[in-house]
Structure 1
Amino acid sequence: MTKSATTTATGRPVWEVIDRRTLLRTTRDVEVTVETVRLPDGRIIDDYYQVGADDSASVFAETEDGLVVTIGHYSHGARRHCIGLPAGRIGPEETAEDAARRELLEETGYAAAEWTFLGSFVRNGNQGGGTDHLFHARNAHRVGEPASGDLEEMEVGLMTRGELRDALQDNRIAVLAHALGVSLGLLRGEAPGR
């Protein structure tokens, strides 16, 4: 049995977890649980399902001449080929930034000199699903060949900010964390005419 605090540091009421049971745990980063929660008004919800997954890191990496390093890949969740950012799960001994640096190198062969944290975002506001940590890397340059070992085949690309805006608007970026990473990257440090 797990019990959580009933207020946040700001004094706002939160849902109190009265009980939590694991229904499914896989070897590939997925856990499904059901919680019994007490709402601030006293109501009890007996079957509030949560889906847990490993946290991940994504990187909006720009080259010295302002092009963004992208990945073309098949996304099984989206059931289609799409454009994305270098990204992947965070290993047990890694920080989010370490994972972002590793994924950039493994998936694209690029490394970057300057890193800025863009934020951490829960995948699903009700069921959880893990947290995505987003980064902006500047002055990325090719240092080797991609060697990700991932299940999907990836195609490394370089896109202008305008091309990425178009890809976002045309729904060619199908994964939410990648769409958010692209959006935040485009907002950060945009130069006129790009």
Structure 2
Amino acid sequence: MDAPLQERLTDDWLLLENEKVFEIKNRVRVNRHKVWLPDNRVIDDYYHIDLPSFVTIYAVNEQGEVLLLEQYKHGVGEVCLTLPGGQIDPGEEPEFAARRELLEETGYGGGRWLSGPSLVLHGNQRISVAHTFVACHVIKLNEANSGDLEQASLVTRPRSELWKTIMDGQLPITTHVAVAGIAETLLAGL
């Protein structure tokens, strides 16, 4: 069977159809893809989930402490620790969003910024892209004023204790754990 030439995803995969099945503007979109595979199979219902891209920041203050937020996260279903971050607004560059989110959520800013890799949340359905940043030597500039749904309290942990916090399950969000590992790798190279 010859696949009709549509959108070539790779040398072997072709996107034959892309149908939107659900959308809430600027929040979530679900598309049904019909794809042609290298072995000539056609998958009629390969779903692609699209949430807005976001930033996650591993911020370290002058005392060598990581800034964390203690807050209820509905996806986790409990109060937990998180790294600062949030959604990238339409037309906003990821680093600008990261600096804005850090200031809004913690009141901290300045310092030296490093950009880490962008991470895709799910290898098959995509879901979202997380942009990772490390901010070193951040200082208190303002009071936190995020306007988020969650009420958050700023908590700090020495960098040396963060892995215990992760292993104890207190920082349960996968991307935040990945960002912590990326950040420590970047900081080791300085």
Q: Same fold (TM over 0.5)?
A: yes
- Give the alignment partner of residue 20 of structure 1, picking from 18, 21, 26: 18
TM-score (norm 2): 0.92
Which residue in 2 is equivalent to 1:114? 112
Which residue in 2 is equivalent to 1:79? 77
Residue pair 1:61, 1:112 contacting (<8 A) in 2 also: no
- Give the alignment partner of residue 43 of structure 1, picking from 34, 41, 44: 41
Kindly provide the amino acid, as one letter, of the partner of residue 37 in structure 1: V
1:38 is displaced (CA, Å) by 0.6
Structure 1 Cα separation of the partners of residues 61 and 15 of structure 2? 46
The CA deviation string for residues 10-64 of structure 1, in whole angstroms up to 9 with x for no partner, is xxx3421100111110135100111000112211000001110000001101112
TM-score (norm 1): 0.90
Among all aligned residue pairs of Structure 1 and Structure 2, give the percentage whose two residues are the same amino acid: 33
Runs ≥4 residues deviating over 6 A: none
Residue pair 1:58, 1:88 contacting (<8 A) in 2 also: yes
The CA deviation string for residues 86-113 of structure 1, in whole angstroms up to 9 with x for no partner, is 1100011211100000000000000022
How many residue pairs get matched? 185
Inter-CA distance 190–42: structure 2 relative to 1 (3 Å threshold): same
The CA deviation string for residues 106-155 of structure 1, in whole angstroms up to 9 with x for no partner, is 00000022111111011111111110000011110000100000001111
Residue pair 1:37, 1:48 contacting (<8 A) in 2 also: yes
Structure 2 Cα separation of the partners of residues 150 and 111 of structure 1? 18
2:175 is the alignment partner of 1:177:
yes
Structure 2 Cα separation of the partners of residues 6 and 120 of structure 1? 20
Which residue in 2 is equivalent to 1:10? none
Residue pair 1:115, 1:135 contacting (<8 A) in 2 also: yes
Which residue in 1 is equivalent to 2:64? 66
Structure 1 Cα separation of the partners of residues 64 and 6 of structure 2? 49
User: Which consecutive unaligned segments of at least 5 residues does structure 2 have?
Assistant: none
Structure 1 Cα separation of the partners of residues 162 and 115 of structure 2? 20
Which residue in 1 is equivalent to 2:153? 155
- Specify the SS of the correspondent of 2:7: coil
Which residue in 2 is equivalent to 1:94? 92
User: Which consecutive unaligned segments of at least 5 residues does structure 1 have?
Assistant: 8-12
Compare 88-97 and 175-184 and name the one that shifted more.
Answer: 175-184
Kindly provide the amino acid, as one letter, of the partner of residue 15 in structure 1: W
Inter-CA distance 59–6: structure 2 relative to 1 (3 Å threshold): closer
2:185 is the alignment partner of 1:187:
yes
